[in-house]
Amino acid sequence: MFLLKKAGSIMFGSVLLSIGVNFFLTPFRLLDGGLIGVGLIIRYLTGMQTGLVIIGLSIPIFVLAWIYYREYFYNSLHGMLFSSFAIDLLSPFHQQVLHTFHIPPLLSSVLGGLFIGLGVGVMLRWKTSTGGTDLLAQFMAKAFQMNVGVLIFIMDVLIISAGGLLISPHTFLLSFITILFVGVFTSICTWDVKY
């Protein structure tokens, strides 16, 4: 029963995350932090599928996890795969949403952060995640005796800053709002979870 609930949380969290990415961030070329943000930058610049890019960029991180932190590997692999596939599965619908609902970019960045934060939070409640830079930050925090939250925030700011330079300054400002809301709603979902 536990595995069934965990699988359900991974699928539900992945769908929430995918809705946030495709229906609120992509229409306005906004970014999240982490590998999702890197995947979105590459998508905006090349047209490649975001989820496929996330999977490709995650391979070296998961190889490290397999070698050094096997528990992190098992707890993150399913979340990364499901969320990446969900992002690509819902991707074709973002234009329809943009034309059907006229949401201003600022509200879209807030709602994108809300959905992504809830999706990540649901998965974290069941001790799983999407891996990516969060997994990398866990390795670095352990190696350098640093706070993992600070490392994740620094990586996220660097990623959206790169997006701001490559895409537009407007992208940076709204994406900063997005990562703040991702953090808030992830924290709300996980405030009572003990690791």
Residue 71: CB partners within 8 Å, gap ≥ 6?
Answer: none
Residue 117 lies in a domain: yes
Gap between the Cα atoms of 75 and 77, Å rounded: 6
Range of the domain at 182: 20-190
Note whether residue 84 is domain-resident: yes
Residue 6 lies in a domain: no
User: 111-132: per-residue pLDDT in tens?
Assistant: 999 999 999 989 888 878 888 8
Ranges 19-28, 36-45, 147-156, 166-175: which has the least confidence: 147-156
Task: For residue 26, give the DSSP letter.
Answer: G
Query: Across the chain, what does the average pLDDT equal?
Result: 89
Asked whether residue 121 is domain-assigned, the answer is yes
The confidence score (pLDDT) of residue 136 equals 80
- Based on the structure, what is the number of domains in the chain? 1
Q: Look at residue 139 and tell me whether its pLDDT is greater than 80.
A: no
pLDDT of res. 133: 82
In a domain, 87, yes or no: yes
- State in Å, rounded, how far the first CA of the chain is from the last one: 21
Residue 5 lies in a domain: no
Assigned domain for 167 exists: yes
Q: Is pLDDT above 80 for 195? A: no
- Structural domain contains residue 153: yes
Please check whether residue 44 is in contact with residue 118, taking contact to mean a CB–CB distance below 8 angstroms.
no
